[in-house]
Amino acid sequence: MRGWRRFDAYAKAVEGIQERTIGGGIITLLSFLFVFFLFISEVSVWWTVNVLHRMHVDTMPQESPITLDVDISMLHESCRDIKVDVSDVQGDTSILIAKDLQEIPLIDPENPYNEGCRYKGTLTIQKLQGDIFFCHGGSLSIFNLMEMFEFNSSHVITKLNFGPSIPEMETPLTDVHKTVMAQVATYKYFAKVVPSRYVYLDGASTMTYQYSVTEHLVQTEGFVTNIPGVIISYDFSPIAVEYIETKPNIFHFITNTCAIVGGVIAVARIFDAALYSMSKKLD
């Protein structure tokens, strides 16, 4: 136990000399361990990047172009039987489809007659309410009824992003698998799109769009009133969200570290003085 004395940083003055005690050595070592633990915690806090969330009214013009990344597969319908169409509330259907959206046939090796179609690529849309259709290519006429009853709306949405990705981005229509057994069925998605800006520590920023989605299946009973397929409707929120990365500066870290060291030393000295006083009274 006498070996603990050499660790005592709070030597006691006894008639002009300083006395090192076992209790003082133990308190000193515990103080150093506590300071080290608090220092590591402070480094962790200083190193961690926090993200602030702010909401404000969206002021970007509606004509701002938005790149929509699409990757959707119709599992049981060939590309020639599917019509892809995109339109907005202004009736603008001049969105690039043939050039920017690839049609990739999906062949089932076990059943060559079960051909699907994958649509992968990008669409450039305006910031207006609109719809994306992956539906039967025919019209609502008696000549197409048999084909519509045979149309299968089962699909896989691998990706649907309104703009580039940001950390912790909400994209619910990712790796979505839907099996539709009903005839003449239309699967509808309603996406509420929120403009989002992510500002990094270095000041660089990324403008993108997150969304929430609801969905339901529309099945025709009796007379055919809707074209089977998949419809993705989207609308933009008037409220925008801003994410800003923040981090305590180095001066804040130094100040907290000095406060930790000074506080622990002061408290340890009080405990050591009290322990030394009690031991002298017991002696």
Give 218's contacts (C-beta < 8 A, 6+ positions apart). Answer: 185, 186, 187, 188, 226
> CA–CA separation, 127 vs 64, rounded Å?
6
Q: How far from 256 is each of 45, 174, 229, 250, CA to CA, in Å? A: 11, 44, 61, 10
Give the pLDDT score at 48.
81
Nearest one of 143, 37, 152 to 106, comparing CA atoms: 152
Q: Which tops the pLDDT comparison, 137 or 248?
A: 248
pLDDT at 14 over 60: no
Tokens linked to 120: 């992968």
pLDDT at 145 over 60: no
Give the pLDDT score at 7.
58
Provide the pairing of β-strand 229-236 with 205-219: unpaired
Nearest one of 19, 7, 100 to 279, comparing CA atoms: 19
Give the pLDDT score at 172.
92
How many other C-beta atoms are found inside a 10 Å radius of the C-beta of residue 273? 13
pLDDT at 26 over 50: yes
Average pLDDT of the residues in 74-102: 74
Give the pLDDT score at 41.
84
Range in 28-37, 82-91, 135-144, 164-173 with the lowest mean pLDDT: 135-144
Domain locations along the chain? 2-48+249-282, 54-245
Give the pLDDT score at 135.
85
Q: Which tops the pLDDT comparison, 20 or 166?
A: 166
Give the pLDDT score at 98.
47
> CA–CA separation, 76 vs 154, rounded Å?
7
